[in-house]
């Protein structure tokens, strides 16, 4: 069964009334063959814009998230049922992708940490698959530019000294 996430905005009700809305929703999910994995209350917030539901306008609402596994036939019937509920302002069911095998590194695999203190640019990246040649070439160009600039500064200083000696 695929995993779904039911995100709903409920009227800004008191705690016991909100609990009854959640119980009603969860019971209808269970009756239709769903397995509820998690219920999360995101709290009461001001709505991003004025929403109309059941001939009323709302500016405040409580956000709730229910994560469940269920058959695909359940989605349409639940949407219709939730739209008819007078306490729910906006229901939305989203299919959630689950990772069966998360990408965790193998315990035997050793990852090389980059060494940013090394003068060698190869050690900065810590991976051989990065095209290091272009960085090394770029680094050599920078070094050459710096050398030329330092030479020009030295020439300029010498010219200044010569001009000062001539003036004396």
Give me the mean pLDDT over the 46-57 stretch: 93
Per-residue confidence (pLDDT) for residue 130, from 0 to 100 = 47
Kindly tell me if the per-residue pLDDT of 104 is higher than 70.
no
Residue 153 DSSP symbol:
H
Token pair of 94 as six digits: 């989203």
Q: How distant, in Å, are the alpha carbons of 5, 114, 120, 131 from that of 127?
A: 39, 8, 13, 9
Q: State the pTM of this model.
A: 0.58
Q: What digits encode the pLDDT tens for the residues 145-165?
A: 888 888 998 999 999 999 988
Share of the chain above pLDDT 90, in %: 60
pLDDT (0 to 100) of residue 165: 87
- pLDDT number for residue 98: 73
What integer best gives the mean pLDDT of the chain? 83
What are phi and psi for residue 99, nearest 5 degrees?
Answer: -95, 115
pLDDT at 81 over 70: yes
pLDDT at residue 154, rounded to an integer: 92
Q: In what order do the strands lie in the sheet with 56-69?
A: 35-53, 56-69, 3-11, 88-96
């Amino acid at each position: 069964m695929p995993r779904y996430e039911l995100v709903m905005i409920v009227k800004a009700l008191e705690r016991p009334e909100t609990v009854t809305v959640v119980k009603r929703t969860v019971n209808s999910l269970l009756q239709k063959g769903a397995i509820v994995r998690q219920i999360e209350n995101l709290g009461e917030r001001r709505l991003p814009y004025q929403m109309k539901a059941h001939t009323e306008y709302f500016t405040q609402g409580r956000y709730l998230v229910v994560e469940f596994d269920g058959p695909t036939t359940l989605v349409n019937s639940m949407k219709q049922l939730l739209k008819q509920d007078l306490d729910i302002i906006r229901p939305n069911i989203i299919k959630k992708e689950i990772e069966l095998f998360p990408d965790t590194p193998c315990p035997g695999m050793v990852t090389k940490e980059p060494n940013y203190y090394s003068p060698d640019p190869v050690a900065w990246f810590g991976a051989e698959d990065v095209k290091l040649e272009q960085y090394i070439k770029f680094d050599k160009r920078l070094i050459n530019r710096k050398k030329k600039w330092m030479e020009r500064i030295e020439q300029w200083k010498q010219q200044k000294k010569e001009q000062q000696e001539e003036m004396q």
